[in-house]
Structure 1
């Protein structure tokens, strides 16, 4: 499917690392591994805001028989050396510890969040707010702050992020009245969860969110079931957006009829809309088809019931958005994976949706999607 506007609006080339939170704090050359997976909302002035994940990596992670990880602590940023014989460095983004009874890894990059202001249609960058960048500031964030998702509920902006550390792999919440100045409220989900998306509106007087707990073990559905065992998009509710109770009802699950969505997870924040006369919560999510190292990531849609968000009103097995190699062709010298589009934000623009995605874990993609593209 082709769209009226589908382009990369912000790439690693657009980042000024002299204004990075790490600048002057480590005596090493760094580069932007990726500027991607942007949370998106509309600012009070009408412009769009992307909260871009900047993965800042060591240019030379391996030195003197060791691979180094970047870590924040109150005294500043540190480089931790690990002997090469103890680790697997096949992935340029991370290294895995050998041995042990479970997976342990460290990162060769540290992620921070950069607010990028776009014009109202997402065609061009208007400002880059380095002075409002979000960097680690707590011990549970000392490997970085990743993958913002922004929702506006009433007069508040709520932003969930993934905070990474040896202590835990948790979901943290930031709040704001203007989407530029953010206050860290702390941890809201204390288990590994990559995709917490707060609905843009209350349901029955409560906040609701999609969640996706990670795990290495799943129990099988019966052979005749329409569902496939694996990661699913779950639900939780809260009286205050801080204290969350998982829903007793299952949410969006992998369907047995297709392998293209064998693994799924949340994407853009759910928004209330009408599709072919049916009112409900539109959620864009990612499905992963097993292939190669990370799989093929595509974007799909589901319309959830307005009052009972665990009930699906409509969905399709056909992807809404697919990876576009033509977009990243000018960046091919920086590519370290392909076949990935990871949708992370959506804004209403009258007759179309403005959709923000991360392309190839490298750059920020903006797509103008006619509302007619989503139909039952």
Structure 2
């Protein structure tokens, strides 16, 4: 597709305009032009990128790519009186919406319950991408892609969007002044307005992240705790693990013994918001759980399985796809607190234990799915 941009405006001759022309030997600022030959008609692509410095014609090119589609405004059309989980694809399914949010790296559940104006810039950026994924648009042009967020969120968010978008059948053209996202997006073609060159093919590869896992004493938990969707006390007899990328703490998990069922319980999993969507969370969880079957866990010889529970729809879906995990329970209505309290009192009396002040566990309406990683599944 041949695109020719010819922008015109008045040639001003005011005193200041004339002085600028004289000082900098600039005859006029009235004319701007750029030509581009983009492979738009070729249907065998998913994502293209127009990249270049500000003022080099990216937006003008974007307007001509699909004139009937226009340029997507990710900040427009959001109601101020609804949380984004209701505002995104209101006629769609719950799993599709939450899946889209998780797919673009907006996995912070409290953020789902806020209206769009209450989100940070990084959260708004990802919410806009999630809306595109959930709506399943056939064509879209996104201007200022990743321009309003810090570079870490930009790169991870770009990579998360690329993976999610390529699962569908649509085509997206991203307009950006940042070259650092190209390897993360892995586009099918790139047009550089700075050089006028078009590049096609598998020339970009997402950087491999080296994840290091360390056992800690729990001192990192206060840093991760604000991002956990439940407020709970410390786990009893737990060992804490933290995942690092390039020396930065990015994910957290704890494991405590459940020897009465021959295993360990993994809990308190958190991935920092700026790293959600980078693909480190499941890798980290699997590695920590694998360690429970080794001498890194002092109960390893008594550990037949590791148990993990979560309410996060995206994580549940990922675990169901992983052959190392088997779903063993699904509680859709939460726990009965009165029944729990009665069980605790009965066990206390039967065993002659000191009376507990506990009033029972549960009482919430949180749907919880339980998963198990067995020793045999790890060895397979």
TM-score normalised by structure 2 residue count: 0.21
Kindly indicate whether structure 1 or structure 2 has the higher relative contact order, using CA contacts under 8 Å at least 6 residues apart.
1
Q: Decide which structure has greater helix share.
A: 2
| Greater gyration radius | 2
Q: Decide which structure has greater strand share.
A: 1
